[in-house]
Structure 1
Amino acid sequence: MINQIKGVISASRFQSVFKLGSSVVGTLFHAIRPHTHKIKNTYNDVTIERYYLIDKLHPYKDLSDRPQYEGTIVEETKRYVSTGDTVVILGGGIGVTTVHAAKMTGVRGEVYVYEGAEEMAELHSRTLELNPVEANIKLTQAIVGKAGKLWGDPGEYQQIKPDELPEADVYIIDIEGAEADVVPSLNHDGIMIIETHGKLGSPTEEMCERLNDKGYCAEVVGVAEPSMQKAHEEGDVKVVVAERNQEAK
């Protein structure tokens, strides 16, 4: 019995030392990280600077290029955005979809981007610097409707109601579950390209039903990223395209 107790105490001490060591290493890693060089990656033909050189030491960060990043949304963006269109993007992320939308709408077009997380908004701005486009782009750090899952600290941000969004020809919505709150509040004739997140409270089937009830014709066009087919099928992360029925306009 005494030996068992000693074993438990030793294991407990080891766990405490391990946790302390991990905490110290993690703190040092995050302190040093911003002072190392950033590396360039290509996500779906867009150049980004998302990671630092030191991130190569991180066991769980994937620093490889991602040719199919946001593949389905990008393809639908290319299909529906035309020269001179106004595009509204909710959940701008690192800016890959924005670059493609801006290329499609061109110098006569306008792209309004809303991103809630401060770090992502900064990454988004950097992506636009690395990939010059001719369209007029306005990036706003803001949360539209209720906040969904944010990729980073929101910092200081604006809160915008869905009915305050500008009129657009195409709405691209990828807001990590908050689409269940925002989409039903939109009442525009523009085409909507929506990434759904079943595990975050916006099941694809339910989103389609709500859109159809509002006078849209909603169609599921695939998982969000083809290279993550299995994970996105299991997590119900898909892309829905919705267009207003002519009789409902």
Structure 2
Amino acid sequence: MDGSATPNSDFPVMHSRGVMVPRDPAVMTPKLRRALRLNGYEAKEVNAALKCVADGDTVLELGGGIGFVSTFLAKKRAVQAIHTYEANPHLIAFQHQMHALNEVTTVTTHNALLAPRKGKPQSFYVRENFLASSLSPEVSNMPVKSVEEVEVLGLNTVFRDVKPDVFICDIEGAEAELLPHLKYDGLRAAIIELHPQWIGAEGVRAVFDAMHAAGLSYFPRWSDQKVVCFRKEWPLK
């Protein structure tokens, strides 16, 4: 459902699964608006997160996108904190607006990339379809709109600082290269969106091996196609 602007938004507002979303034309493509209107945007990820995240949890999210998942979780669960990392600098202001519009105060947004270790800023390729923006300069039929230099932080340093209970990851194929470097055993659950069209069978195996090394087991009942869940054995807290 679309509506008029609110005091917290310069744009008309639409509603999806209880979340208010500003219809900023710079971000909200017709395809995205339709997915939100039909409650289908990131539905598999959101459904898995509802099963994995409990009140009092700290959540670390890689690939925050428009801020829908973090906003939804902060409204549905009394989380301690959500730290969301998004490489696309054009989406940071939109995330802030989403959180303010929904009166969410437990989410901290970081414009940064995570890598095996802290390094020099890295080129991030922004495309007209922001969902296809990535570290790769070549994605077929999707020309680059701009190239941004983004801060690079160390994966394990961030995990040690944040100390997450639940990890959510949707980073457009970079999961296969990044996650094998994870050395953190404090997770209770993880939700990973795989991109087998880019990482292939070897990359999928690398993600599974990384999660198993972190003490988590694949849990098919909470998984849905490319969105896969891992968790520690019961009892959970």
**TM-score with structure 2 length normalisation?**
0.68
- The one-character-per-residue Cα deviations of 1:130-180 (angstroms, maximum 9, x if unpaired) are 11125x221110011287875355635321111111211101111111111
- The one-character-per-residue Cα deviations of 1:179-206 (angstroms, maximum 9, x if unpaired) are 1122222222311111111122265742
Counterpart for residue 168 of structure 1? 164
Counterpart for residue 144 of structure 1? 114
Q: Is 2:177 the counterpart of 1:155?
A: no
Contact 2:180 2:209 in 1 (8 A): no
Contact 1:115 1:142 in 2 (8 A): yes
Give the number of equivalent residue pairs.
Answer: 190
% of aligned pairs identical? 24
Amino acid at match of 1:47: M
Q: The residue matched to 1:40 in structure 2 has which SS?
A: strand
More helix by proportion, 1 or 2?
1
Counterpart for residue 13 of structure 1? none
Q: The residue matched to 2:113 in structure 1 has which SS?
A: strand
What is the CA–CA distance in structure 2 between the aligned matches of 1:116 and 1:201, rounded to whole Å? 19
Counterpart for residue 127 of structure 1? 98
Contact 1:50 1:123 in 2 (8 A): no
Amino acid at match of 2:51: R
Aligned residue among 68, 75, 79 for 2:47: 75
**TM-score with structure 1 length normalisation?**
0.65
What is the CA–CA distance in structure 1 between the aligned matches of 2:108 and 2:176, rounded to whole Å? 25
CA 1:164/1:213 → structure 2, altered by over 3 Å: closer, same or farther? closer
What is the CA–CA distance in structure 1 between the aligned matches of 2:46 and 2:68, rounded to whole Å? 8
Contact 1:86 1:109 in 2 (8 A): yes
Contact 1:216 1:244 in 2 (8 A): yes
Counterpart for residue 208 of structure 2? 208
Answer with 1 or 2: which has the greater Rg: 1
Q: Is 2:42 the counterpart of 1:42?
A: no
Counterpart for residue 92 of structure 1? 64
Counterpart for residue 222 of structure 1? 224
In structure 2, the gaps of 5 or more residues are 1-9, 117-121, 134-145
Residue 101 (structure 1) shift:
2.1
What is the CA–CA distance in structure 1 between the aligned matches of 2:198 and 2:167, rounded to whole Å? 20
